A and B are shown apart, each in its own frame.
Chain A
Amino acid sequence: MLLLLQYTLIFASVLLLVALGGCYSEHSGVINLGLEGIMVIGALGGALMMRYLPAVTPGFLMVLLTLAGAIVFGVAYSALLAVACINFKADQTIVGTALNILGTALATVLVKAMNMSINPDDVSSTIQYVEPKKSFIVYLGSFEFNWFMLITIVVLAIAYVVLYKTRFGLRMMACGEHPQAAASVGINVYKMRWAGVLISGVFGALGGISYILAGVSEWKFENGVAGFGFLALAVMIFGQWKPLRIALAALLFGLFRALSNVYIGIDFLAALNIPSTVYNMMPYLISLLVLAFTSKTSKAPKAEGIPYDPGQR
């Protein structure tokens, strides 16, 4: 049971971080379908940091620098979305999809090239981080506490306060709802949307690095992040673009994802003798159902997906 709790929390953390990223981007008016790609690139940034930092780096610094690496990569990558969608008014769905395809491909090519330059026979796209990973984990008895659980709670609190209690949040949401209204009171819609997208780059990258650090000690970048970016989008929609509801949705989805990892250890579930693939499908099936039933009443930001055109009334 402890294991279930542990996995639920770590998966929920990943989903929550990424979904909050999506939440910020969409509240500013840009649909970010590229979260999956941002996660991969962010994870790559963090993984490279862990691979190349000297092993003697103190744990605390290791954590900070890994996060910093992920964030830098994620923000830079999300800037592609911002430039294309905000300045060049490209179709947000297509750019997001392109970022997803590019993300995994780019990470694979880069890691393969690096591996081959060290050992020509090593054509894998895998990065190992057995030792650095230990910096992220603290054992509380048999409970494996992951720093990301704490980081996520802090991020959630900040995300909530910034969105609802600050001038920045109010202005950003206005840009996602009615950019012409925002512009008419002197708000720079372009700046606000850039901010929203870059913040989604930060959160998406944090989600990506925490995902590849959950459970395993090496990551094969060919696999991308297995649709977690899209799952996070479902979490965001189920959470109705509101941080606290997103947190609850993330816990629910995290629980189902965790079940697929640990159901063997839970007697009555194991006794049911359901194939593991069913558990693996669960989060995706649930998101399909949830979206089918909640889409009708969804409270998406009204202007999301529409490039800002100052001439339009």
Chain B
Amino acid sequence: MAEYEIEMLHITKRFPGIIANDDISLRLKKGEIHALLGENGAGKSTLMSVLFGLYQPEEGEIRKRGVKVEIHDPNDANDLGIGMVHQHFKLVECFSVLDNIILGVEPNKAGFLQKKEAREKVLSLSEKYGLRVDPDAIIEDITVGMQQRTEILKMLYRDNEILIFDEPTAVLTPQEIEELMEIMRNLAKEGKSILFISHKLNEIMSVADRCTVLRKGKYIGTVDIKDTTAEGLSAMMVGRDVNFHVEKKPAQPGEVVLDVQNMVVASKSHNNNAVKGVSFKIRKGEIVCIAGIDGNGQTELAYGLSGLEPVKEGVILFNGVDIAHMSIRKRNTSGLSHIPEDRHKHGLVLDYSLENNIVLERYFEPEFTSKAGFLKEQNIRAYAERLIAEYDVRSGQGPVTIARSMSGGNQQKAIVGREIDKNPDLLIAVQPTRGLDVGAIEFIHKQLVALRDAGKAVLLISLELDEVMDVSDRILVMYEGEIVGELDPGTATVEELGLYMAGAKRDEVKS
């Protein structure tokens, strides 16, 4: 028997003007979890698309168990036992879990669906691998974690042997990530071979057996996880040493910038309030971090502060003025900046050019609009070019690039540049590094610290424990819409933080 389940040998794939994959080889053993690591744009997705039959490589070949195979479309891939959990789930939202699983391979008699046997198979698979799902639940009603388990069951139902997970943890809560890791280990134990695409080093360290690293379309190497460290992997990925620990001097808090008193924000998804009378203060020159498990009111807290949702009760004193019922424009112009959680929905106009996105909050200023109401395009261009250079925003055509076509990291850098260049008194950054690679994360963390050192206040809302512990000067923990604890990142442990986040511990926090 051949040693490798799948071999991709010397794959080269060119697109006009760019070599996306340059002589890349990847060998997947049976029963292993093989991580594919690389920054955004390193060629991971292209390589997986080649394996899944979406692209045809110019050079190189694919072998299954030593035999050369041709993969022209996803059906070929499926016939070879290759399945994929896409980063954006391919689920029909108004169908049941069961219907989604059988779609495309429906058991039938003369075209009539026979769901009974399908249900039994799904239930037995779900038991065997510990994938809890309710076959009759409708996709739009269930959690992201359960949707992902549905995607996994889709592959198992098709008896796929080679399972590709494309950045599967990006959308999950810490608990769900832990659960997914366990599921992946189980699958490997049962003889499935797993390709795990990620740029989160700690996840790779904890779950993978081997790791192949790509950088800028080139193959860097394949290493055994037990022989390497996170630092080593990261150096391979970015080509230089990356500092995990954010370098920063002790904070020197000054006067109070933001004073929130008993803020209440309604919830959109249920009748309860999402934010239940929260009070806290933020001073100049400090980074305050709101930690918590997703869905405990952090999103709504940010919406209330930034004006995206109305505040039901309470006072938000910003530089001594109550802004609770001010328009968003007025909050913006009076020194509040906001890096929104959803950069596609609230951060950018995706079909606008980069330069127009950059002046989105300032276009009405005399610098960019003449008295007659015409845009001063030259000034906009010059301003955009300066920010693009300062914040290292990379794009195809510079200022005129359409935002939609840019990578997530560069979109985020553009937003960060826009918000920081406004020279705000307070920056609210909601999950500013979500879905970004190590290099971009490091960059954004540095910007936050620089802003703090310039005597500004930063409110960071994050789900990433590492980020919470590394970047912040003060941690507030949110649980079910309330602030249940205040911790000092210098003395608190991750375990302690976890207890507060899970609601197992709470203090009376004074504002």
**Which A residues are within 8 Å of any B CB, using their own CB?**
165-168, 170-171, 173-174, 177-178, 180-187, 299, 302, 313
Chain B residues positioned under 8 Å from A166 (CB to CB): 108, 111-113
B234 to chain A, nearest CB (A): 28
Chain B residues positioned under 8 Å from A174 (CB to CB): 92, 95, 103
List 20 other contacts, CB 8 Å, given A168-B111, A173-B95: A166-B113, A167-B111, A167-B112, A167-B113, A171-B103, A171-B106, A174-B95, A177-B92, A177-B95, A178-B91, A180-B90, A181-B90, A182-B103, A182-B104, A184-B86, A185-B74, A186-B74, A186-B104, A299-B94, A313-B86
User: Which of B78, B88, B90, B103 has a CB less than 8 Å from the CB of A170?
Assistant: B103
Chain A residues positioned under 8 Å from B91 (CB to CB): 178, 181
**Which B residues are within 8 Å of any A CB, using their own CB?**
74-75, 78, 84, 86, 88-95, 99-100, 102-106, 108, 111-113, 154
A226 to chain B, nearest CB (A): 34
In angstroms, Cα B105 to Cα A184, docked, is 12
In angstroms, Cα B404 to Cα A313, docked, is 13
Contact present for B99 and A165 (CB under 8 Å): no
Chain B residues positioned under 8 Å from A302 (CB to CB): 93-94
Contact present for B93 and A178 (CB under 8 Å): yes
Contact present for A187 and B104 (CB under 8 Å): yes
Which of A166, A180, A181, A313 has the largest count of B CB atoms less than 10 A from its CB? A181
In angstroms, Cα B105 to Cα A185, docked, is 8
Contact present for B106 and A167 (CB under 8 Å): yes
Chain B residues positioned under 8 Å from A167 (CB to CB): 106, 108, 111-113
A99 to chain B, nearest CB (A): 28
A28 to chain B, nearest CB (A): 13
In angstroms, Cα B111 to Cα A302, docked, is 25
Given contacts A177-B92, A177-B93, A178-B93, contact A187 B103 (CB under 8 A): yes
B74 to chain A, nearest CB (A): 6
User: Which of A165, A180, A185, A299 has a CB less than 8 Å from the CB of B103?
Assistant: A185
Chain B residues positioned under 8 Å from A186 (CB to CB): 74-75, 78, 104
User: Which of B74, B88, B89, B94 has a CB less than 8 Å from the CB of A177?
Assistant: B94
10 A-B contact pairs sorted by A residue (CB < 8 Å)? A165-B113, A166-B108, A167-B106, A170-B102, A170-B106, A174-B103, A181-B90, A182-B103, A187-B104, A313-B88
Chain B: CB-nearest residue to A166 = B111
In angstroms, Cα B99 to Cα A187, docked, is 14
Main SS class of interface, B = loop
Chain A residues positioned under 8 Å from B75 (CB to CB): 186
In angstroms, Cα B75 to Cα A183, docked, is 9
Which of A170, A185, A302 has the largest count of B CB atoms less than 10 A from its CB? A185
Chain A residues positioned under 8 Å from B105 (CB to CB): 185
Chain A residues positioned under 8 Å from B93 (CB to CB): 177-178, 302
User: Which of A165, A182, A185 has a CB less than 8 Å from the CB of B112?
Assistant: A165
Chain A: CB-nearest residue to B88 = A313
Chain B residues positioned under 8 Å from A183 (CB to CB): 74
Chain B residues positioned under 8 Å from A180 (CB to CB): 90
Contact present for B86 and A170 (CB under 8 Å): no
Chain B residues positioned under 8 Å from A177 (CB to CB): 92-95
Given contacts A180-B90, A181-B91, A185-B105, contact A170 B113 (CB under 8 A): yes
In angstroms, Cα B106 to Cα A99, docked, is 36
In angstroms, Cα B102 to Cα A214, docked, is 44
Chain B: CB-nearest residue to A311 = B54
Chain A: CB-nearest residue to B100 = A181
Contact present for B106 and A184 (CB under 8 Å): no
In angstroms, Cα B111 to Cα A166, docked, is 5
B151 to chain A, nearest CB (A): 10
Chain A residues positioned under 8 Å from B78 (CB to CB): 185-186
Chain A residues positioned under 8 Å from B88 (CB to CB): 313
In angstroms, Cα B94 to Cα A177, docked, is 8
Contact present for A173 and B92 (CB under 8 Å): yes
In angstroms, Cα B154 to Cα A174, docked, is 15
In angstroms, Cα B102 to Cα A178, docked, is 15
Which of B89, B104, B105 has the largest count of A CB atoms less than 10 A from its CB? B104
In angstroms, Cα B113 to Cα A170, docked, is 9
Chain A: CB-nearest residue to B106 = A167
In angstroms, Cα B102 to Cα A187, docked, is 12
B97 to chain A, nearest CB (A): 13
B471 to chain A, nearest CB (A): 31
Given contacts A170-B103, A170-B106, A186-B75, contact A181 B92 (CB under 8 A): yes
Chain B residues positioned under 8 Å from A173 (CB to CB): 92, 95
Chain A residues positioned under 8 Å from B112 (CB to CB): 165-167
A87 to chain B, nearest CB (A): 19
Chain A: CB-nearest residue to B45 = A313
Chain B: CB-nearest residue to A162 = B111
